[in-house]
Structure 1
């Protein structure tokens, strides 16, 4: 006979729910610290735990070190942004897909400036964030390239790759400048401007090898 040990609920909350809640509290704390206007130069485990309201013991149950923690915060934010943007684009007619994607991104970073700073601010110098941003840019460029190929029904080539990288880098830099106040546009005006630029890149002649 095999006996299966069961974890008793604590105050009516299952162990796996408490576990997920604690991890999310760390992620939220990381977004607070990394996405704030005054990110500390030396992000310590104690500062993270203090922000999350949890002990150091719990930190090491989820993360091996600070680098893994920062990467997890970044990945969590990026996953949400990517999933909602892809869904918005997929639900829109072809002619409106650029606007749908940009609108979703601007809406999210407008509602929560921490997200925008974490993903786009040039003032953050954390090494892990810089590496993750470079990886993110490559992934988004690949998705942009695949989108162009599918929309225009043409095979991939270097011109499509160049355009995809231009789009990803240009949009990211524009969003960074907007978040820092260098670009004085309302969210709606920013979407209009970016859409106007991106729509010019739908010209098939740009992609002929």
Structure 2
């Protein structure tokens, strides 16, 4: 299909066309959150099945999206946005705490947000993988955003004299890979560990990056 069908305009049922469109889009995303994030998964879901789950028609689907891939892309960005909001809120509250407490607060917020609903983990770490070059580019771009966030905290800590002064981009990229892999394996039940165990391990790794052996903080 070359493009989306044109949605109707005007007011109906007390709602504007824009409000109705937003409601339809949300219903499709909510249904996809269940289908992609649980059973049967993205690859086994059809437009007809998603439309039925949303209580809408396939015509209405094509008024909102071109393909199911568009839906998965939107969900992937949404799940990451929720996690980022949680991390930034935790960081704002912990801004004046010592380094170890700040790092712990940030990762507890991230882990709790992502793992609080197994559908979020599946969409972020499983369903998005290998779908298409477009979604791989989106996944890597979103991961780069997390790397930027880690680098910013590392640089700020170094400026305070609480961490070593260095270029943190390679280390931050490797660390984000550890975060993704560890949370995926934990959520899949491949690790005999609690979420607190996982967070504690990630905090130890990041503190080891920030404070290598032999380095002493100027102040904390």
Contact 1:152 1:204 in 2 (8 A): no
Is it true that 1:104 corresponds to 2:113 in the alignment? no
CA separation of 1:205 and 1:16: change in aligned 2, threshold 3 A: farther
Partners of 1:103 and 1:191 within 8 A in 2: yes
* 1:183 alignment partner, SS class: coil
Query: Which residue of the partner structure matches residue 63 of structure 2?
Result: 61
Instruction: Give distance in 2, aligned partners of 1:130 and 1:70.
Output: 12
Give 1:72 deviation, angstroms: 1.2
Q: 1:109 deviation in Å?
A: 2.8
Q: CA deviation at 1:16?
A: 3.8
Could you say which residue in structure 2 is the equivalent of 1:198? 206
Aligned to 1:88: 90
Give the Cα separation in 1 of the matches to 2:32 and 2:213.
45
Q: Distance in 2 between matches of 1:117 and 1:17?
A: 30
Corresponding residue number in structure 1 for 2:186: 178
Give the one of 166, 180, 189 matched to 2:197: 189
Count of paired positions: 199
State the TM-score, normalizing by the size of structure 2.
Answer: 0.77
Contact between 2:37 and 2:120, CA under 8 Å: does it hold in 1? yes
Q: Please give the alpha-carbon distance, in whole angstroms, between the structure 1 residues aligned to 2:10 and 2:128.
A: 45
The CA RMSD over aligned residues, in Å, is 2.8
Equivalent positions of 1:4-19 (< 5 A) are 7-8=10-11, 10=13, 12-13=14-15, 15-19=17-21
Change in 2 beyond 3 A, CA 1:47/1:106: same
> What is residue 3 of structure 1 aligned with on the other side?
none
Q: CA deviation at 1:103?
A: 0.9
Question: Runs in 1 of length 4+ with deviation above 6 angstroms?
Answer: 204-207
Q: Which runs of 5+ in 2 are unaligned?
A: 1-8, 216-220
The residue that corresponds to 1:50 in the other structure is 52
* TM-score (normalizing by structure 1): 0.81
Q: Distance in 2 between matches of 1:28 and 1:143?
A: 28
2:146 to 122, 140, 146: 140
Distance in 2 of aligned mates of 1:116 and 1:99: 20
For the 8 Å contact 1:39–1:124, the answer to whether it is kept is: no
Q: Alignment partner for residue 126 of structure 2, among 121, 128, 132?
A: 121
Q: In the TM superposition, what is the alpha-carbon distance from 1:171 to its structure 2 partner? A: 0.7
Alpha-carbon distance change, 125 to 31 in structure 1, aligned in 2, over 3 angstroms: farther
Deviation at 1:108, TM superposition (A): 1.9
Aligned to 1:152: 158
Distance 1:129 1:29, change over 3 A: farther
